[in-house]
Structure formats: C-alpha cells, structure tokens
Structure 1
Amino acid sequence: MLLKDKIVVVSGIGPGLGVKLAVEAAREGAAGVVVAARSGDKLEDAEARIKALGGKTRVLRQVCDITQAQDCAALAANTARTFGRVDALVNSAFVHGEMDYASSANLDAWHAVLDTNLIGTLRLTQAVIPEMKKTGGAIVMINTMAARKVPPLGEAGYAASKAALANSVKWLAKELGPSNIRVNSVHMGWMWGAPVQGYFEWQAREHGVSVDSLKAQVAVDIPLGRIPTDDECARAALFLVSDYASAVTGAALDANGGAYMP
C-alpha cells in the first residue's frame, strides 16, 4: 500500500477533492488520517467514508481555519499527541474568490484569497515543520492548472495566489531538504466530482443543453479525451507524499489529463 502506516494530515476537507484525498489516504493504508476543515459537519462525513472502507485507519477530526495561527498550532499539537508524529501534510484548503481578470478585478477582494491560499497554507505548513523535523516527512500543495495556463474563465486572483504558492514550494524544498522533508506541488485542471458536476448541471440548465455535451466540449482540449476524476487526482497527489517519491522535492506534477504540458 502506498501510504502504509503513515500519519497523513489533509486540510480543506469538503465535498470534492478534499474528502477524496482523505479517503484515498486511508485506502492506501495510512495508519492515521487527520481531517481538517472550518466546518465540523464535513469532518464527520469524511470519517464516515473512511470507516466505510472497513480498514484500520484511525481518524482525528480537527476543526481548523488555516488563516488562524492558533488553529494551525492546535492541529499540529493534537496530531502529535494522538499519533506521535506527522508523516505527511496535504494542503488542500483554498478559497477560489471571484471569477475575475487582473485588468479589472476588485483587488481588495484578493486579500481573502491570498490569506488562505498562500499565507494560510504556509501557516499550516510552518506549524507541522517542527514535528516533521523529528522523523522526516513530505508536504504536497494542491495547486491549479490556472497558475500555469491562463484560462478563459477569469480566475486571476485565484491563479495569482496559487502561483505564489508554487514559487514558495521551491524555497521550502531547499530549506527543508536537510531535515529530510520533501515539498512538492500538484497542479489540477478540470476534475469530475461533486463541485464540477454541480457547475455543469447549472450551466446545462442556464443554456438548455445536456451535461454530456458540456463535458465533451471541455474534453476536446484534454489529450486523454475525458475529464479526470477527483479520485484520480487525489491519488496523484498522494504519490508525492509516499516513499515512491522519496527522491522528489521542489517539483510540480501536472494531474490534468494533459490539458497543460510544460
């Protein structure tokens, strides 16, 4: 199993990629999964899904707003107290913000996006570093194709925050390498799951077309010819915190069906 006996922290638990990261970590043999989000009900759902697998993975639910230093410190402390160590951190928490353009955006609205996607993510990362330094570990930042390829939809603020995070990964990898801590990014594109399905269903109603036709329009620009599922993308991210990626740090993996190729 990819994550056998590891203790994995996943932030940003929600109906899409976040919960899939937690479930797939358990499926891959994690001894413990810490599920973190601002909303407690999402954590209960994640724990139920993990228990439904029938495995032995222990679950710690932790309400955590990553923009708050005390919440991040509490998460790191409770993880260490419960499991004795932190092997992996998957930074999935994010705020998308408005569908905007750099030339016309309300820049004041970017503060909340940057505060979560960049500063908040770094707050949680800094909080777990002291524990990781004791035994080594791995961190992966969930990033976006929008930080590497300008999309037509208008995601300038979101993309800017994620591009800054991607750059920070290089610094972290250089700084933490001597402590046997690896730091990488995984860039997602379209992911078929609850959030995207809801968006497509709304668009289908608005324009009087089928969901399948909308999916086909998007898939035209994806070499695999389909929209990857969030389960698939979760597994790509978890590879980076597994021992199979022990020689990989400071890297950026594109998990988007080939929609972006460097």
Structure 2
Amino acid sequence: MLLKDKIVVVSGIGPGLGVKLAIEAAREGAAGVVAAARSAEKLADAEARVKAVNPNCKVLKVVTDITKVADCERLAAQAVQTFGRVDALVNSAFVHGDMDYASTANLETWKEVINTNLIGTLQITQALIPQMKAQKSGAIVMINTMAVRQVPPLGEAGYAASKAALANSSKWLAKELGPSGIRVNTVHMGWMWGAPVQGYMEWQASEHKIPLETLKGQVEAGIPLGRMPTDDECARAALFLVSDYASAVTGAALDANGGMYMP
C-alpha cells in the first residue's frame, strides 16, 4: 500500500478528482484523510465513500475556504490536534473561471481564479508547513493542468495563467523546503473521464446534436493511449508523488494525460 498509515490532507473535495483523491488515499492504506471543501454535503459524501473502501481510515471533515487564511489555519490546527502529524497535502481546490482568451478576457474575472488557484493554494500550504517542518518530513503535490503545457483551443487563458504561476511557485517551495525534508511536486492533468467531464461532454453533445460517444472519440483520437484516462487513474498518479516511492523526487512535474502532451 503506497500510503500505509499516512495522514493525507486533500483540499477541494468535489464530485471529480477531489473525492477520488480521498478515496484512493484510503484504498492505499492511509490511516487518516483530512477532507477540505466549502460544502459540508460534499464532505459527508466523501466520508461515506472513503469508509466504503477502508473502514479503518479516519476522516476529519473541515469546511474550508482556502481563500481565507483563518480557514486554512483552522484546518491545520484541527489536523494536528486529531492526528498529531500531517504526512501529505494534495492541493486539488480550484476555480476554473470563464472559458476565455488572453486577448479578449474580462481581466476582472481573473482575480477570483488567481485568488483561489494560486493565493489560496499557497495559503493552505503555508498553514501546514510548520507541522511538516517540526516533524522534518512531508510531501506536497499541486494538481495542475495540461493547459499550462500547451495552448488549448477551448479558451482557458485565465485558468492556465493561475496554474502556471502555481507551477512556478511549486519549484520555489521545493527549493526552500527541501532542507526540512519536505518534497513539493506538480502533476499536470489532461482530459479526465469522470463526473465533471462527462457532464460537460453531455451538454456539448446536446448543444451540437452529436452523440456523446462521437464527441468523446474525437478527443480520444488525439490521446496516444487511445482513451481518456479516468479521474481514479489520475488520482493515483498524484498520490504516487506523495508516497515514499517518490522519496527522491522534488521540484518535478508529472504529466498524467495519456500522452496527449509530451514535453
């Protein structure tokens, strides 16, 4: 089990990758999962699904808005009080924002995206760093996007800008925290088949009067694996980076997109 007996914090619990990160952490033997989201209902659902795969995994649910420093500090305090340590932080919380282009975007709308994806992520990270420093160990992974690696036709300029800044900040963190035994890495996700993407594609299929499988096939034609990775698979790729199997890895960026982007 990759995460046997570890305490894992997951931000951004939601219907897609967020909850899958919590579930897969439990499946891989985590002793505890600290689940963070702005919605208590999402946290309750996550707890039930975690317990279904690992009844022995303790779940600490903390309603958290990562754009609020007080919320981040409260989560860190509760995690340490409950478990005594924090072995891993998986930063999955995000706001996508408008489907826009840099040349025409309403830049006011970028502020919320940057405030969550960059500032908020760094705030929850900073809140947990003191405990990791005290225990002289820890692993952090930033969930990022393939849109940082290549310009997509869909129009995700604001989202990509915020995530590019986070990718750069992750390298700084890796350099700064390495002497304290803390690793920081990034995983760039592409298309992930799960609730959010399925919902988006169903809407697109309805709008354009195209069968869902045809639309999905058009995307998968550009993926060397010939299929869209699932959010479960992508969650496991991210969790590898906080496991002891990646103990020599910090400041790295892993692409989990079926080969759709190759650096």
Q: TM-score, normalised by structure 1?
A: 0.99
**Whole-Å Cα distance in 2 between the matches of residues 209 and 101 of structure 1?**
25
Cα shift at 1:59: 0.3
| Matched letter for residue 240 of structure 1 | L
| Residue of structure 1 equivalent to 2:57 | 57
| Residue of structure 1 equivalent to 2:158 | 157
**Whole-Å Cα distance in 2 between the matches of residues 103 and 62 of structure 1?**
39
2:26 touches 2:54 (CA, 8 Å); kept in 1?
no
Once the two structures are superposed, the pairs formed by residues 50-199 of structure 1 within 5 Å of their partners are: 50-135=50-135, 136-199=137-200
Match of 2:45, SS state, is: helix
**Whole-Å Cα distance in 2 between the matches of residues 226 and 10 of structure 1?**
27
**1:205-249 Cα deviation digits (max 9, x unpaired):** 111111111111001111001000000000000000000000000
| Matched letter for residue 194 of structure 1 | A
- Count of residues paired in the alignment: 262
| Residue of structure 2 equivalent to 1:33 | 33
**Whole-Å Cα distance in 2 between the matches of residues 238 and 53 of structure 1?**
16
**Whole-Å Cα distance in 1 between the matches of residues 211 and 81 of structure 2?**
50
| Matched letter for residue 162 of structure 1 | K
**In structure 2, do the counterparts of structure 1 residues 54 and 32 end up closer, same or farther at CA, with 3 Å as the change threshold?**
closer
Once the two structures are superposed, the pairs formed by residues 17-28 of structure 1 within 5 Å of their partners are: 17-28=17-28
2:99 touches 2:156 (CA, 8 Å); kept in 1?
yes
Q: Which consecutive residues of structure 2, in runs of 5 or more, have no partner in the other structure?
A: none
Cα shift at 1:54: 4.1
Q: Which consecutive residues of structure 1, in runs of 5 or more, have no partner in the other structure?
A: none
**Whole-Å Cα distance in 1 between the matches of residues 20 and 82 of structure 2?**
22
**Whole-Å Cα distance in 1 between the matches of residues 46 and 111 of structure 2?**
29
| Matched letter for residue 107 of structure 1 | L
**Whole-Å Cα distance in 1 between the matches of residues 258 and 175 of structure 2?**
29
**1:51-74 Cα deviation digits (max 9, x unpaired):** 111431000000000000000000
Q: TM-score, normalised by structure 2?
A: 0.99
2:3 touches 2:25 (CA, 8 Å); kept in 1?
yes
| Residue of structure 2 equivalent to 1:211 | 212
Q: Once the two structures are aligned, what percentage of the paired residues are identical?
A: 78
**Whole-Å Cα distance in 2 between the matches of residues 2 and 99 of structure 1?**
37
**Whole-Å Cα distance in 2 between the matches of residues 86 and 134 of structure 1?**
10
**Whole-Å Cα distance in 1 between the matches of residues 26 and 84 of structure 2?**
18
**Whole-Å Cα distance in 2 between the matches of residues 198 and 141 of structure 1?**
24
| Residue of structure 1 equivalent to 2:256 | 255
**Whole-Å Cα distance in 2 between the matches of residues 20 and 145 of structure 1?**
19
2:27 touches 2:54 (CA, 8 Å); kept in 1?
no
**Whole-Å Cα distance in 1 between the matches of residues 217 and 100 of structure 2?**
25
2:36 touches 2:64 (CA, 8 Å); kept in 1?
yes
| Matched letter for residue 181 of structure 1 | I
Match of 2:204, SS state, is: helix
| Matched letter for residue 10 of structure 2 | V
| Matched letter for residue 25 of structure 1 | A
RMSD between aligned alpha carbons? 0.5
Runs of 4+ aligned residues of structure 1 deviating over 3 Å after TM superposition are none
| Residue of structure 2 equivalent to 1:229 | 230
